[in-house]
Amino acid sequence: MKNSKRIVSLFLLGIPLCLEAQNTKTISGFGHIESIATDGTYIYAADIGKELLPVAKDGDGKIIKLDKRGNIIAPNIYPETLHAPKGLAIHKEILFVNDIDRIIAINLKNGQKVYEISMANHTAFLNDIAVWDNHTLFVSATDKNKLFKVNLADKTVVEIKIAPEIAGINGLFCHKKASRLYVNGFGSDNKPNGVLGYIDLTTNTFTKLTNLEGYYDGLAIYKDMLVASNWVSFENKGMVMVWDIFGSQRSKKITALPVGGPADFIIYKDVLIVPAMLTGEIHFIRLDSDLLLQI
């Protein structure tokens, strides 16, 4: 544990490290990866394309399929046009994709579209997706600071009125046992003033969990810890941060990474898989039991 803490400290100081190859791996050569998802067998990555244009309908977006080691299985699983795919979620062999102003449901067995839900009347910047149950999704509209609930049975969409409003609402993660939806924000006015907390879905009220603000993006709960990515700035300075959801509101552990734009990540079997959106990379980083870098 002492060695793990020392590594975290060195990363925070910006000192480059050479970790053992089996515990870290970086895959490069992508456009701009915004989201990662897994079905337990394969990894899927949403690439918005050659340019960092998250709302451009330029037709060069794709969904990349990789194995668990990061080897590319298919450069694009979806045969139809995608523009700037961002949030991904998988439920019962269906991959849900947010693409600017629409939600696309893709059958992972054959890559074909099952259906599409238009959000054009609500937003031009769909971001994250969270699956609540077989019939319900939550999606964030970053440009409108709004959260929407999607009924998959009848394909209807309703806004969840949040108090107070979350500027640049971004990452989402469902915690059904507590009737909570954990959320974060990218902030407003191009400033790192985004917040992190949860929405009580019985009252739709937002509770902030930390006073630490930032350009928050990805969000997950893993081993009773709340994990969030923070760009910090539009440079190679991003990090992934960890809070104990049952303990102090202050950060308990910090895994800092030299990541340019850490976006929507996953943690799968103690491996943090985080896209570096600014640099076109995906980092695979093995963690120990306390979610620190393992050596």
User: Distances in Å between the alpha carbon of 63 and those of 122, 140, 170, 189, 215?
Assistant: 24, 20, 20, 30, 24
**Chain segment 70-107, per-residue pLDDT in tens:** 999 999 999 999 999 999 999 999 999 999 999 999 99
CA–CA separation, 73 vs 43, rounded Å?
9
Chain mean position to CA 106: 19
Per-residue pLDDT, 291: 64
119-144 per-position pLDDT tens digit = 999 999 999 999 999 999 999 999 99
* SS3 label, residue 6: helix
In the structure encoding, which two tokens stand for residue 173, read together? Answer: 């993660």
pTM value? 0.90
Strand partners, 275: 282
- Each residue of 31-45: pLDDT tens digit? 999 999 999 999 999
* Rounded CA separation 29/251 (Å): 33
- In the three-class reduction of DSSP (H, G, I as helix; E, B as strand; rest coil), residue 218 is classed as strand
pLDDT at position 172: 98
pLDDT of residue 24: 81
Q: What percent of the chain has pLDDT over 90?
A: 79
